[in-house]
Amino acid sequence: MSNAILESYWMPFTGNQDYKRRPRILTRAEGHYYWSEDRRRIYDSFSGLWTNGIGHCHPKIVEAVQHQAAELDYAMAFQMGHPRIFELAARLKEIAPEGLGHAFFVNSGSEAADTALKIALAYHRANDEVARTRFVGRERGYHGVNFGGMSVGGITANRKIFSASLLPGVDHLPHTYDLERNAFSKGMPKHGAHFADDLERFCALHDASNIAAVIVEPVAGSTGVLPPPEGYLRRLRELCTRHGILLIFDEVITAFGRVGAAFASERFGVTPDMITIAKGVTNGAVPMGGVLVRDEIYDQIVSGRGENVEFFHGYTYSGHPLAAAAGLATLKVYDEEGVFEQARVLEPIFEEAIHSLSGHRSVIDIRNIGLMGAIELAPQQAGPGLRGLAAHKCAFWDEDLVVRNGADTLQFAPFLNSKPDDIYATFEAVRRVLDRID
């Protein structure tokens, strides 16, 4: 590709100048592999971007999208509807935690987070608790990059340029990462349930009657895979219930098999009031997000409004026909191919493989849960993030492997239907990469 063509595209979350000096171009995908512009087959260790859990270009999903595009390309989302989106909502209700029986559809995880916050405000207003306007997020949390999600999120680099324009009335729980006590943990760390108790401090400071909702990822993903400490999520649920605060789980990453169940809330035995979804709902084939909402919340907002619009929110592409078709096909594949069960079987294999690097001189921590894992690298003297980026590049060029890095953290999200040999081969390749760049 010419320099002029490369320069025209402003890439997201990318060092554009660095990338365009030696671009890493992907031209097609199939199953567990990409193909690069120079015709190399590249193994994908990150399932797209946590998105393609059952592989790229799954034929049943491709067929469903092709058929839908030829039959109904778009249907107005306001005051109109089409069959597939109602079918998808009903199908999600079947697999969602009990009581979360309504789905509001959007186009991404970022939009889902902002939508959940707005639903929380609308619910409390409809419930005559208009003072409940404050939100509580968490340090190192990621809830997309719209202003609401950034406000409750806690990743510094995402917030610092926009700090003056973020939502007021937001507090942040401490993150749960405790390197000193939980390094090289396997599954849920033993220490850290007490981090949830800071919510009591916010209730005392602001009075609980002013807090609308708490939003957290069951497993913090984009910040570098931070599994919840044992008892932590249950403690949050108890505190929210006690004080009348809604609990929102951001499951954009963790839903649809990533932790071996339809939802992380099922795996951890904690039911929130809302769940945000995206990514795996369509296996990444078509952009889609959504919010699964507790029945009481929907009923309180919608009931008694007659013919009027009850909730002034939505997007042109909410419930897009192609996304709905992709979602239905994806959920069918999950069921027919026993994907979530496959993921549970793969967990100990993945855990063994990723922790095989625990003795490497560059590695300061490894953590995993379900089919999510991270390897924390010691920063180079030249600056933080450089070793992680070097590993990403070396893996692509020298090992035909896609490895995602967030600064000096290498992140892994194997396909839910991975082959064990591919998982082992991935970390053998990562070891060679770390040996080269040290």
Beta bridge partners of 136: 171, 214
Percentage of the chain beyond pLDDT 90 is 97
Please tell me the predicted confidence (pLDDT) of residue 3.
Answer: 86
- What SS3 state is found at 238? helix
Please tell me the predicted confidence (pLDDT) of residue 304.
Answer: 76
pLDDT of 432 higher than 80? yes
Report the pLDDT averaged over residues 107-121: 98
pLDDT of 19 higher than 80? yes
Please tell me the predicted confidence (pLDDT) of residue 329.
Answer: 98
160 CB-near residues (< 8 Å, 6+ apart): none
pLDDT of 307 higher than 90? no
CA distances from 398 to 232, 393, 401, 434 (A): 41, 8, 8, 12
Strand 33-36 to strand 41-44: parallel, antiparallel, or no bridges (unpaired)?
antiparallel
Please tell me the predicted confidence (pLDDT) of residue 252.
Answer: 98
> 54: burial class by Cβ within 10 Å (0-12, 13-18, 19+)?
buried
> At which residue do the structure tokens 């709902």 appear?
281
Q: CB count, 10 Å around CB of 3? A: 9
- Tell me how far apart the 2 most distant CA atoms of the chain are, in Å: 67
CB 215, CB 110: distance < 8 Å: no
| Token representation of residue 255 | 């839903």
pLDDT 10s digits, 161-202: 999 999 999 999 999 999 999 999 999 999 999 999 999 999
Please tell me the predicted confidence (pLDDT) of residue 356.
Answer: 98
**Structural domains of the chain ordered from first start:** 3-54+338-437 (3.90.1150.10), 62-336 (3.40.640.10)
Strand order in the sheet with 170-173: 102-106, 289-293, 274-277, 246-250, 211-216, 134-138, 170-173
Separation of alpha carbons 74 and 83, rounded Å: 12
Q: Give 69's pLDDT tier (boundaries 50, 70, 90).
A: very high
pLDDT 10s digits, 246-299: 999 999 999 999 999 999 999 999 999 999 999 999 999 999 999 999 999 999
pLDDT 10s digits, 75-99: 999 999 999 999 999 999 999 999 9
DSSP element (H, E) containing 324: helix 321-336
Separation of alpha carbons 89 and 196, rounded Å: 32
CB 344, CB 260: distance < 8 Å: yes
Please tell me the predicted confidence (pLDDT) of residue 273.
Answer: 98
DSSP state of 193: G
pLDDT 10s digits, 121-149: 999 999 999 999 999 999 999 999 999 99
Please tell me the predicted confidence (pLDDT) of residue 306.
Answer: 79
Q: Give 438's pLDDT tier (boundaries 50, 70, 90).
A: confident
